[in-house]
């Protein structure tokens, strides 16, 4: 259903906010699946609001929303580009999930003054059965975003996901069934299906081709298919570097919430390709016995670091010459993998008018211990007296990539009891490494809470904040809930967002904004309502 918008004047930001409230009052907060949203009917509320105040023009609302009259937190030193992540399961193999609902949500974000949305683009949806690509659903979604007048940050996901359930492509899984060593493996022989082992990056294990060759073809195909969107709608491309898209090993307990668990993780170096690499490295360094496997005295996933010898706070094996040898090798494998993918991303996309980015994790558990075990098992050789993020930042700037850092909602004193966590100090260390090396920093959150929003605001309003872009994760039933969305609206109004061009808005929308009153049913019985 479409409403023709009459051009009138909005006098205050509060009145502009009410227009957004009209839209969001139509949101039926029913979960269809994790991170999916469904917008139910609200004809009565819309009629009442329309009768009392009428629908104002998009042009006037944009001006009011993006120029707030006051700043309770103080003026910001610079504007921040604000994106909102689309649901992780926004697309299935055949269609856009809840397309009308997504279109409705996009318009609500546009009215708030959001610059764009982040699109999780899954390898397994584009290449489910073979290396042949099918971009049709994602192209339709990109066009939906373009018609909403928003920009698009595309995240090219080369990994799997447990929630929602998005596996690796089935043709990759068949190869892994025949040769399980293409997957990361722990000491107990358990295989991780998060992503392919870094040790096979340049080995022809995928039907005679290397993963890097397959990734390059995937990137080139994306570039060709989305050429009409690049530089106007698509302004940023993010490249997945490992599990959850982050530069790290899949070292955390299976089925855990990644680095949100309190575990220390387990070294992932027991597939035959990683072991062969380790053996060769040990022999070249004159210590062949060190290449027989990972540390024998490292604890299991959820054990305390002091339950065995390797991570012990004082006189642990991590401090010995062997510990230094192994941890140096293990972290180098991660850096080499990251460098290969970042270099490939720059090779394929570097001449395009887009910003390239990739994500690092915020591994804050056990950060206050001397050995930093959660970081070590994930591949970051960051211990007392050694900066494990300087080389990472240097790698990003060398390949002309911005660094996405999650967890700004966990900073400002966030600590996890019992795990010597300190998200604030770790975040400060990562940001310092980026500042030292000249790396641009893009922020993300990891929760939808009032306290989290306040923590994000403190960082964004800080004079020392390096952030120029922030992606708020992510749309869904919780995002549009009456408990959360008003908080998010106030958060947006507190930021100094770059001004929007209202002429472009009206041009993109054709002077109209689609507001599906019964998006869930799609019954076609909607009546045309016109402003008075």
Residue 108 belongs to domain with CATH number? 3.20.20.80
Q: What is the pLDDT of residue 304?
A: 85
The residue ranking higher by pLDDT, 308 or 379, is 379
Residue labelled with tokens 């090396």: 437
The residue ranking higher by pLDDT, 83 or 530, is 83
The residue ranking higher by pLDDT, 300 or 376, is 376
Question: What do you get for the CA distance between the two ends of the chain, in Å?
Answer: 17
Nearest to 340 by CA among 438, 240, 244: 240
On whether residue 224 sits in a domain, the answer given is yes
On whether residue 512 sits in a domain, the answer given is no
- Count up the domains in the chain and report the number: 1
* Residues in a beta bridge with 29: 38
Q: Report, as an integer, the average pLDDT of 488-506.
A: 66
Q: What is the pLDDT of residue 257?
A: 53
Do the beta carbons of residue 216 and residue 344 sit within 8 Å? Answer: yes
Query: How many C-beta neighbours within 10 Å does residue 531 have?
Result: 14
**Residue-wise pLDDT tens digits, 195-226:** 999 999 999 999 999 999 999 999 999 999 99
**The domain containing residue 391 runs over which residues?**
81-259+334-496
Does the pLDDT of residue 453 top 90, yes or no? yes
**Residue-wise pLDDT tens digits, 254-310:** 655 544 556 789 999 999 999 999 999 999 999 999 999 999 999 988 888 888 899
Q: What is the pLDDT of residue 8?
A: 26
Give dist(CA 154, CA 381) in Å, integer: 30
- Going through 204-354 in order, the beta strands assigned E by DSSP cover 234-239
Q: What is the pLDDT of residue 255?
A: 58
The residue ranking higher by pLDDT, 150 or 504, is 150
Do the beta carbons of residue 333 and residue 198 sit within 8 Å? Answer: yes
Q: What is the pLDDT of residue 79?
A: 77
The residue ranking higher by pLDDT, 176 or 500, is 176
What is the number of helices (H) and of strands (E) in the chain? 16, 12
* Residues in a beta bridge with 467: 441
On whether residue 217 sits in a domain, the answer given is yes
Do the beta carbons of residue 517 and residue 42 sit within 8 Å? Answer: yes
pTM equals 0.82
Here the tokens at position 334 are: 């991660």
By annotation, the residues acting in catalysis are 246, 444
Q: Report, as an integer, the average pLDDT of 501-530.
A: 34
Question: Exposed e or buried b for every residue in 121-140, given b needs 16+ CB within 10 A?
Answer: bbbbbbbbeebebbbebbee
Q: Report, as an integer, the average pLDDT of 3-19.
A: 36
Q: Report, as an integer, the average pLDDT of 413-431.
A: 82
Does the pLDDT of residue 30 top 70, yes or no? no
- Going through 133-240 in order, the beta strands assigned E by DSSP cover 151-157, 183-185, 191-196, 234-239
**Residue-wise pLDDT tens digits, 307-339:** 889 999 999 999 999 999 999 999 999 999 999
* Residues in a beta bridge with 159: none
On whether residue 416 sits in a domain, the answer given is yes
On whether residue 307 sits in a domain, the answer given is no
pLDDT confidence tier of residue 414, bands split at 50, 70 and 90: low
On whether residue 508 sits in a domain, the answer given is no
* Residues in a beta bridge with 4: 512
- Asked which of 50-54, 75-79, 181-185, 377-381 is least confident by mean pLDDT, the reply is 50-54
- Going through 204-345 in order, the beta strands assigned E by DSSP cover 234-239
Q: Report, as an integer, the average pLDDT of 55-77.
A: 37
Could you give the maximum distance between any two Cα atoms of the chain, in Å? 84
Do the beta carbons of residue 171 and residue 264 sit within 8 Å? Answer: no
Does the pLDDT of residue 356 top 50, yes or no? yes
On whether residue 14 sits in a domain, the answer given is no
On whether residue 505 sits in a domain, the answer given is no
Do the beta carbons of residue 227 and residue 329 sit within 8 Å? Answer: no
pLDDT confidence tier of residue 157, bands split at 50, 70 and 90: very high
DSSP category for residue 61: H
Nearest to 86 by CA among 146, 158, 153: 153
Q: What is the pLDDT of residue 303?
A: 83
Give residues with Cβ within 8 angstroms of 369, minimum separation 6: 305, 311, 313, 420
């Amino acid at each position: 259903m479409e409403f023709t918008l009459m051009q009138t004047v909005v006098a205050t930001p509060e009145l502009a906010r009410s227009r957004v409230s009209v839209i969001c009052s139509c949101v039926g907060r029913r979960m269809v699946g994790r991170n999916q949203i469904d917008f139910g009917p609200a004809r009565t509320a819309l009629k009442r609001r329309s009768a009392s105040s009428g629908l104002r023009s998009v042009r006037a609302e944009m001006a009011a929303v993006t120029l707030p009259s006051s700043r309770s937190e103080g003026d910001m030193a610079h504007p921040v580009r604000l994106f909102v992540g689309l649901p992780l399961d926004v697309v299935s193999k055949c269609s856009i999930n809840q397309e009308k609902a997504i279109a409705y949500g996009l318009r609500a974000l546009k009215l708030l003054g959001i610059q764009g949305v982040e699109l999780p683009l899954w390898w397994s949806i584009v290449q489910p059965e073979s290396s042949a690509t099918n971009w049709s659903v994602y192209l339709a979604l990109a066009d939906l975003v373009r018609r909403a007048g928003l920009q698009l940050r595309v995240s090219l996901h080369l990994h799997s996901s447990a929630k929602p359930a998005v596996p690796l492509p089935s043709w990759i899984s068949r190869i892994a069934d025949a040769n399980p060593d293409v997957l990361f493996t722990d000491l107990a022989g358990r295989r991780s299906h998060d992503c392919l082992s870094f040790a096979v990056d340049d080995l022809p294990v995928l039907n005679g081709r290397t993963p890097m060759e397959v990734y390059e073809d995937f990137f080139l195909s994306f570039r060709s298919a989305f050429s009409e969107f690049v530089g106007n709608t698509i302004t940023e491309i993010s490249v997945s570097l490992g599990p959850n898209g982050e530069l790290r090993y899949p070292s955390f307990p299976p089925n855990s919430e990644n680095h949100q668990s309190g575990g220390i993780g387990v070294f992932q170096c027991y597939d035959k390709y990683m072991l062969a690499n380790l053996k060769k490295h040990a022999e070249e360094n004159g210590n062949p016995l060190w290449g027989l496997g990972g540390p024998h005295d490292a604890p299991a996933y959820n054990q305390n670091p002091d339950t065995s010898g390797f991570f012990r706070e004082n006189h642990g094996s991590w401090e010995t010459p062997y510990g230094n040898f192994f941890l140096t090798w293990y972290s180098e494998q991660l850096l080499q993998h990251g460098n290969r993918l970042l270099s490939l991303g720059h090779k394929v996309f570097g001449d395009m008018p887009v910003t390239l980015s990739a994500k690092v994790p915020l591994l804050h558990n056990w950060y206050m211990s001397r050995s930093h075990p959660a970081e070590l098992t994930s591949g970051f050789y960051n211990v007392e007296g050694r900066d494990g993020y300087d080389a990472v930042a240097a790698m990003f700037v060398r390949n002309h990539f911005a660094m996405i850092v999650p967890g700004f909602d966990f900073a400002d004193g966030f600590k996890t009891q019992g795990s010597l966590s300190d998200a604030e100090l770790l975040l400060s260390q990562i940001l310092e490494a980026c500042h030292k090396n000249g790396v641009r920093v893009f922020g993300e959150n990891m929760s939808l809470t009032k306290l989290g929003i306040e923590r994000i605001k403190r960082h964004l309003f800080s004079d020392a904040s390096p952030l120029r872009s922030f992606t708020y994760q992510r749309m869904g039933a919780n995002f549009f809930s009456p408990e959360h969305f008003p908080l998010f609206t106030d958060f947006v109004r507190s930021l100094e967002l770059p001004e929007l061009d209202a002429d472009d808005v009206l041009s993109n929308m054709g002077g109209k904004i689609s507001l599906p009153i019964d998006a869930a049913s799609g019954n076609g019985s909607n009546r045309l309502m016109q402003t008075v």
